[in-house]
């Protein structure tokens, strides 16, 4: 009988332990994993809308209101986008579904701070219920400069702060007017040039020669005597089933890595990657975060690595110079430039800086987060020097600015349309990087190269930052 | 105004369950020799809290937001529910005077939560649930009379197990499939789950066999028969019930033999069997995959569990407030996933409180078994309470993704007629053991010379 009592007690404690496990796990879910789980795009609760609440505003870093809700005569709220197209791809729209910050922060803008107080005041004085406002990292002055420089050229401009991952500007063209999305819906959704797509984060482009930054890293890591090794460029190089031409078939003569990057010599990089091999190159591509989800607040496309370990030699040499099946977003290229500027550490990009509550107080600041480490400090410094050389005496000279050292890399991406895309990625000032940019212009024959646009964006953005400092 | 009320009610519900549990502690403390307050007061406060919670919830639920008036149907149902709760409190007090009051209040609290959340999700289900609760309650009240008429029901051990197998085989042959398990039987339009009824009989059977000294013969016979039942359930894709029966067998065997080695051996064999089942049955693999990484397959396999996690985490500790959440985005939310709906609208703190109520029930059930001097009743009580609590553990664990999901009901809370009926009968049985032992132990004390009935009741 006593044995039995002991057994019963043990079973009791075993089950109590099970229940305590449940309690512990629920605690972990709600206290530690809450944000990660509940912000998933599949969560229908985030699309919750309550028409009795005035939706919070979207505000830029200087306090400029980008989107606000206005009470109509019939008691409903109308959403107004004060900067219309200029910030369209940031704010997104909130009418026929939601995109942009409107979608990402819907729940926050529908949340009442001090709910109890607000509701009591609403009953007592008839004051409206106001949701939390979202303050974005974007500086509308820089955003406007970028938008004006982009003009009517299809493409995108991304400006980022390398040390934190803050997005300072995010422009994409074609754009749309968020105020009239609902009225023009049929037209917009079927439009051939897809104005609703945010090319800066969702557009996938072949990286062209800007990819040579990654190839350079692979060369530094896999070819032991890369510092002394030279290559004789004749303007073209033949591989299995594939002849690689340098731009305009120009013969660059004797080049080493630095010279090859400066003049963007295709033959050199094609030759080097055949020595590196596809699996090693693929390894580097993965390590520089091409397949790492960036976790960015707005909808974004995942880059595509078009290189298998078993790739043929022609696939390999095409990939080496940024052609082939590999495709990247302008956002990613800005992250790559930032990582090189930031001693090899890639920061997670973010666009929501903090939340501003209806009583004027601020909170919930985003803390910059390291995404991954793409290379050593030493390698990053070497890449930076080579990128400075690109702008000082190579293909990127159109991006140079008086009094500021700019580091960058140009690119021309051949693609299915027959019209080349033009790229520029870079950062400045090279010795103490404040901003990183990625610019892509579709159909550059008609709209001009990305490089001078990038140069002007950098110049104006640095000026703005200096004025505000 | 209503929004303000709902907002405040979030705190109120947490207060109800928190204070309810505190009163349980007050009662237990008194029993253990401490004093935090009067135990009689504690129980009556608990009863009032249940009624208050019922009224608060139905005030919110019966208000129609669109028309701005009270929905008379919901008001009426709320009133009927209130009368049911009051009647239950009254009759249970009379019929089981010596029973444990905490078990009754705990059970009623869970049943009231069930009525509220079902009214919120699908009023028609709440009506049906209440009907089954009434039937269960009546059955429970008749239980003592029934046992008085048939005093030595343990001699029917073979009948119990034969009916068990009969019911399960019937389901296997004539069963209807629902939610991926073929564990439903339909007679004249009335569907029920035989595996629930089998639970009741199975505990009786094991207790009847184990009341005597357990030798190899008993061990092997019960082992083979139990394994047969578990296998039948696995074949019906009713993995949750299979797990519950296995655990009930292991627990009761362990208590009857006090042999840890046997318990460990059983667990090892179960791990082997589980691995085998994983390899043989695709539906087992699907469940495990959905548990390991539901995010990889949100659109199909992981949909349910992911939505459950959204429901639990989105609104935080206090929940969205009654009627403010979106629990209907979870498939089968009214039965298997009811815990997620409770966490969503009442808050995770309330959900934790529900778990604590199960701990309280477990403690009281085990107390009864420990206080009971008869081996047979002691085993019976442990079997009943561990089965119920283990069932609560595996479904809550499944819903929060602690363990792979096995579709069973949360006792007293999930929608399901058979489940409510059988769970109530099991509680009645537990209380009857309590009453019986208290009366007979008292008799023995007054007349120590009385001949003991059936020496086999003692080891």
Domains in chain B: boundaries? 1-151+304-445+453-459, 152-280
Q: Is the pLDDT of residue B452 over 50?
A: no
Q: Is the pLDDT of residue B445 over 60?
A: no
Nearest to B258 among A6, A21, A29 (CB): A6
How many residue pairs from chains A and B have C-beta atoms closer than 8 A?
Answer: 122
Closest CA to B114 of B426, B423, B420: B420
Quote the CA–CA distance of B205 and B166 in Å, as a whole number.
Answer: 14
Residue A29 touches chain B, beta carbons under 8 Å = yes
**Alpha-carbon dihedral angle through residues B424, B426, B431, B433, given to the nearest 10 degrees:** 160
Helix (H) or strand (E) holding A423: strand A421-428
CB contact under 8 A, A30 and B313: yes
Quote the CA–CA distance of A361 and B180 in Å, as a whole number.
Answer: 52
Q: Is the pLDDT of residue B179 over 80?
A: no
DSSP helix/strand/coil, B26: helix
Chain A interface test: which of B247, B295, B310, B340 (most A C-beta within 10 Å): B310
Long-range contacts from A385-389, C-beta under 8 angstroms, 24+ separation: A385/A258, A386/A216, A386/A257, A386/A258, A386/A261, A386/A262, A387/A213, A387/A261, A387/A340, A387/A426, A387/A430, A388/A430, A389/A258, A389/A261, A389/A262
Least confidently predicted of A143-152, B18-27, B254-263:
B254-263
DSSP helix/strand/coil, B70: strand
Sorting pLDDT into bands at 50, 70 and 90, what band is B149?
confident
Quote the CA–CA distance of B359 and B356 in Å, as a whole number.
Answer: 5
Taking CA atoms, what residue in B is nearest to A16?
Answer: B359
CB contact under 8 A, B362 and A45: no
DSSP helix/strand/coil, B215: coil
CB contact under 8 A, A29 and B358: no
CB contact under 8 A, A40 and B310: yes
Is ipTM > 0.90 here?
A: yes
CB contact under 8 A, A19 and B8: no
pLDDT score of B368: 93
- Contact at 8 Å (CB) between B443 and B158? no
Nearest to A15 among B362, B373, B397 (CB): B362
Q: A232 pairs with which residues across the strands?
A: A254
Closest CA to B319 of A30, A27, A357: A30
DSSP helix/strand/coil, B147: helix
CB contact under 8 A, A22 and B397: yes
Which residues lie below 8 Å from residue A361, measured CB to CB, with a gap of 6+?
A113
Q: A404 pairs with which residues across the strands?
A: A401
Count of other CB atoms within 10 angstroms of residue A193: 10
Closest-CA distance of chain A to residue B288, Å: 18
Quote the CA–CA distance of A191 and A180 in Å, as a whole number.
Answer: 15
Residue A1 touches chain B, beta carbons under 8 Å = yes
Q: What is the pLDDT along chain A (469 residues), one digit of tens a residue?
A: 678 899 999 999 999 999 999 999 999 999 998 888 887 878 888 877 778 889 999 999 999 999 999 998 887 899 999 999 999 999 999 888 889 999 889 989 988 898 888 888 888 888 889 999 999 999 999 999 999 999 999 999 999 999 999 999 999 999 999 999 989 999 998 888 899 999 999 999 999 999 999 999 999 999 999 999 999 999 999 988 889 999 888 999 999 999 999 999 999 999 999 999 999 999 999 999 999 999 899 999 999 998 988 889 999 999 999 998 999 999 999 999 999 999 999 999 999 999 999 988 999 999 999 999 999 999 999 999 999 999 999 999 999 999 999 999 999 998 888 889 999 999 999 999 999 999 999 988 878 899 999 999 999 999 999 998 7
DSSP helix/strand/coil, A101: helix
Dihedral sign of CA atoms A29, A32, A33, A38 in order: positive
Count the helix, strand and coil residues of chain B and give each as a percent rounded to the nearest 5. Answer: 75, 5, 20
CB contact under 8 A, A11 and B310: no
Chain B interface test: which of A6, A18, A24 (most B C-beta within 10 Å): A18
Q: Per residue in B118-134, pLDDT tens?
A: 999 999 999 999 999 99
Helix (H) or strand (E) holding A63: none
CA separation, residue A158 to residues A305, A333, A335, A468, B146 (Å): 21, 9, 9, 20, 80
Count of other CB atoms within 10 angstroms of residue A353: 20
Quote the CA–CA distance of A132 and A455 in Å, as a whole number.
Answer: 37
- To 5 degrees, how large is the angle CA A1–CA B434–CA B97? 155
- Contact at 8 Å (CB) between B357 and B409? no
Q: Identify the top-confidence range among A188-192, B162-166, B342-346, B436-440.
A: B342-346
Residue A71 touches chain B, beta carbons under 8 Å = no
CB contact under 8 A, A23 and B355: yes
What's the whole-number mean pLDDT along residues B44-50? 95
Q: What predicted TM-score, i.e. pTM, was given to this entire model?
A: 0.79
pLDDT score of B457: 41
Q: Is the pLDDT of residue B392 over 90?
A: yes
Q: A157 pairs with which residues across the strands?
A: A171, A439
What's the whole-number mean pLDDT along residues B216-229? 88
- To 5 degrees, how large is the angle CA B115–CA B116–CA B118? 65
CB contact under 8 A, B362 and A26: no
């Amino acid at each position: 009988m006593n044995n039995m009592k002991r057994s019963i007690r043990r079973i009791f404690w075993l089950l109590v332990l099970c229940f305590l496990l449940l309690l512990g796990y629920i605690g972990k879910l709600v206290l530690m994993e809450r944000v990660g789980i509940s912000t998933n795009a599949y969560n229908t609760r985030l699309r919750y809308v309550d028409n009795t609440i005035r939706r919070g505003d979207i505000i830029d870093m200087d306090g400029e209101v980008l989107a606000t809700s206005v009470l109509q005569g019939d008691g409903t709220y109308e959403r107004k986008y004060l900067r219309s197209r200029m910030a369209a791809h940031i704010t997104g729209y909130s009418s026929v579904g939601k995109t942009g910050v409107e979608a990402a922060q819907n729940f926050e803008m529908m949340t009442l701070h001090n709910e109890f107080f607000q509701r009591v005041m609403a009953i007592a004085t008839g004051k409206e219920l106001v949701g939390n406002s979202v303050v974005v990292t974007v500086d509308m002055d820089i955003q406007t400069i970028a938008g004006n420089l982009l003009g009517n050229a299809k493409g995108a401009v991304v400006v980022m702060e390398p040390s934190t991952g803050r997005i300072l500007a995010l422009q994409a063209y074609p754009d749309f007017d968020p105020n009239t999305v609902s009225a023009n819906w049929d037209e917009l959704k079927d439009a051939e040039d897809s104005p609703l797509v945010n090319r800066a984060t969702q557009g996938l482009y072949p990286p062209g020669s800007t990819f040579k930054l990654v190839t350079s890293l692979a060369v530094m890591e896999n070819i032991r005597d890369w510092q002394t090794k030279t290559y004789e460029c004749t303007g073209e190089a033949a591989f299995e089933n594939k002849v690689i031409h340098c731009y305009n078939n120009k013969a660059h003569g004797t080049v080493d890595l630095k010279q090859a990057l400066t003049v963007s010599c295709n033959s050199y990089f094609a030759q080097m990657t055949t020595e590196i091999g596809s699996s090693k190159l693929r390894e580097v591509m993965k390590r520089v975060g091409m397949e790492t989800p960036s976790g960015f607040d707005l909808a974004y496309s995942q880059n595509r690595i078009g290189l298998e370990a078993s790739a043929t030699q022609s696939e390999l040499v095409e990939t080496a110079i940024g052609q082939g099946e590999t495709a990247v977003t302008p956002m990613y290229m800005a992250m790559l430039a930032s990582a090189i500027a930031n001693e090899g550490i890639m920061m997670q990009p973010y666009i929501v800086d903090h939340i501003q509550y209806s009583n004027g107080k601020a909170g919930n600041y985003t803390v910059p987060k390291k995404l991954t480490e793409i290379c050593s400090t030493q390698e990053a410094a070497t890449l930076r020097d080579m990128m400075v050389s690109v702008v000082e005496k190579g293909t990127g000279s159109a991006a140079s600015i008086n009094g500021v050292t700019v580091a960058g890399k140009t690119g021309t991406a051949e693609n299915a349309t027959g019209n080349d895309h033009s790229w520029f990625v870079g950062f400045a000032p090279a010795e103490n990087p404040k901003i990183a940019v990625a610019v892509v212009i579709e159909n550059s024959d008609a709209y001009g190269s990305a490089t001078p646009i990038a140069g002007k964006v950098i110049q104006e953005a640095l000026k703005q930052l200096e004025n505000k400092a | 105004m209503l929004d303000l009320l709902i907002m405040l009610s979030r705190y109120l519900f947490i207060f109800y369950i928190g204070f309810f549990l505190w009163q349980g502690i007050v009662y237990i403390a008194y029993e253990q020799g401490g004093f935090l307050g009067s135990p009689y007061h504690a129980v009556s406060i608990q009863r009032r809290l249940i009624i208050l919670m019922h009224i608060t919830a139905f005030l919110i639920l019966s208000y129609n937001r669109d028309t701005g008036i009270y929905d008379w149907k919901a008001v009426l149902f709320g009133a009927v529910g209130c009368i049911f709760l009051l009647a239950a409190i009254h009759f249970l007090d009379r019929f089981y005077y010596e029973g444990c009051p905490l078990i009754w209040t705990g059970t009623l609290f869970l049943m009231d939560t069930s009525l509220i959340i079902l009214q919120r999700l699908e009023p028609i289900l709440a009506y049906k649930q209440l009907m089954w609760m009434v039937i269960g309650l009546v059955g429970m009240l008749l239980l003592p009379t029934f046992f008085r008429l048939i005093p030595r029901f343990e001699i029917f051990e073979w009948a119990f197990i034969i009916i068990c197998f009969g019911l399960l085989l019937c389901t296997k042959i004539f069963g209807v499939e629902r939610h991926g398990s073929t564990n439903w039987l339909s007679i004249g339009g009335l569907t029920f789950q035989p595996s629930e009824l089998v639970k009741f009989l199975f505990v009786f059977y094991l207790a009847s066999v184990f009341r005597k000294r357990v030798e190899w013969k008993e061990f092997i016979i019960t082992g083979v028969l139990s394994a047969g039942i578990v296998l039948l359930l696995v074949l019906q894709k009713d993995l949750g019930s299979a797990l519950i029966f296995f655990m009930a067998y292991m627990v009761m065997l362990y208590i009857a033999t006090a042999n840890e080695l046997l318990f460990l051996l059983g667990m090892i064999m179960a791990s082997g069997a589980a691995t085998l089942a994983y390899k043989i049955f695709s539906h087992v693999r699907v469940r495990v995959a959905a548990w390991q990484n539901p995010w990889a397959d949100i659109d199909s396999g992981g949909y349910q569990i992911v939505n459950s996690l959204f429901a639990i985490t989105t609104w935080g500790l206090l929940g969205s407030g009654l009627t403010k959440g979106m629990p209907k985005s979870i498939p089968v939310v009214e039965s298997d996933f009811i815990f997620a709906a409770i966490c969503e609208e009442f808050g995770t703190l309330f959900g934790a409180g529900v778990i604590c109520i199960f701990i309280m029930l477990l403690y009281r059930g085990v107390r009864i078994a420990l206080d009971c001097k008869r081996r047979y009743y002691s085993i019976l009580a442990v079997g009943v309470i561990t089965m119920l609590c283990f069932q609560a553990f595996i479904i809550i664990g499944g819903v929060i993704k602690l363990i792979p999901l096995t579709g069973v009901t949360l006792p007293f809370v999930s929608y399901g007629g058979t489940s409510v009926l059988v769970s109530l009968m099991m509680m009645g049985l537990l209380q009857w053991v309590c009453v019986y032992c208290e009366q007979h132990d008292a008799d023995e004390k007054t007349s120590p010379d009385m001949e003991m009935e059936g020496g086999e009741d003692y080891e």
